[in-house]
Amino acid sequence: MRLALAWLILLAALAAAAPWLPLPHPEVMDAEARLAAPAWTQSPVLGTDPLGRDLLARVLAGARISLFVGLLGTAVALLVGVPYGALAGLLGGRADRILMRAADALESVPMVVIMLFLLALLQEYRAELAAIGLGRLQLFLGAVGLLFWLPAARVARAETLRLRGQAFILAAQAGGARRPRLLARHVLPNLAPSIGTLLMLTLPRVVLMEAFLSFLGLGVEPPAVSWGLLAADGMAALNPLVDCWWLIAVPSFFLVLTLWALDALARRLAGPGA
């Protein structure tokens, strides 16, 4: 637990301070330093890529994108899923069944299909979408929200069904409180512990999904950089004639260690039986 928390704090601090660290700009190329192996104690600490760009600088830049997408995507998923599930549980009956069947239908659509549709939309209307501030990253966050709010909705619904029979809810209903007031003043505040656990459970899944889609070329696009994109570049550079293992090992190490740390924190929050 302490090791996981220490890694996340260190990573966040390094990513935030990266522009002021004595590192080259992530996009600065040096033809004379192409595919330099990691020096570990001096520059380049983690080596360079086929264009001579410093890998440590690029990994820290990727950390900013990966963590930003993870946090914002998780926030979108919770902001949509928790009120939706709580409303379904509070309404009950036929309305509950309709809302949850609609969620089931949306969950049956694979994430890759959603991303391909959004990328086709972006390609067709790139100028129009750019005029209103929508680009590939914004569409990706929307797709993540569409996928990951569904588990949050189910947990919120189950918790709301449990709360409906509690004395304070029954007292509020007897006092004439309408459903919007019940939802805002009594149900959602009491979902806070579940929301905290959901946050930590959803965050590593969103980070992994971003890395996976960027690795496939469906997520972050250059000149932005993420760990999945770095791993894809490393895979493309591998060949039997040049030993450049660090290109895929370094971003993979950062991704795996971060996912482990987030999962360890989530399990601690979820309790000993998780």
- Residue 95 near residue 88 (C-beta atoms within 8 A): yes
Is residue 38 included in any domain, yes or no?
no
Is residue 131 included in any domain, yes or no?
yes
Residue type, position 139, single letter: L
Is residue 29 included in any domain, yes or no?
no
Q: Which of the four pLDDT bands, split at 50, 70 and 90, describes residue 272?
A: low
| pTM for the predicted model, two decimal places | 0.84
> What CATH number is associated with residue 13?
1.10.3720.10
Lowest mean pLDDT: which of 39-43, 48-52, 177-181, 209-213?
Answer: 177-181
Domain of 13 in residue numbering reads as 2-17+43-270
- Calculate mean pLDDT across residues 135-160: 80
35: left (phi over 0), alpha (psi -120 to 50) or beta: left
CA distances from 69 to 82, 140, 200, 205, 252 (A): 19, 9, 14, 11, 17
Is residue 36 included in any domain, yes or no?
no
Is residue 175 included in any domain, yes or no?
yes
Render pLDDT for 38-70 as a digit per residue (tens, 0 to 9): 988 888 889 999 889 999 999 999 999 888 888
- What is d(CA 134, CA 147) in angstroms, rounded to the nearest whole number? 19
CB atoms within 10 A of CB 27: 14
Give me the number of domains the chain comprises.
1
Is residue 180 included in any domain, yes or no?
yes
Q: Is the dihedral of CA 66, 71, 74, 80 positive or negative?
A: negative
Is residue 31 included in any domain, yes or no?
no
Partners of 239 in beta bridges: 242
Radius of gyration of the chain (CA): 22
CA distances from 34 to 57, 159, 181 (A): 15, 55, 62
Is residue 257 included in any domain, yes or no?
yes
Query: DSSP string covering 169-198, please?
Result: HHHHHHTT--HHHIIIIIIHHHTHHHHHHH
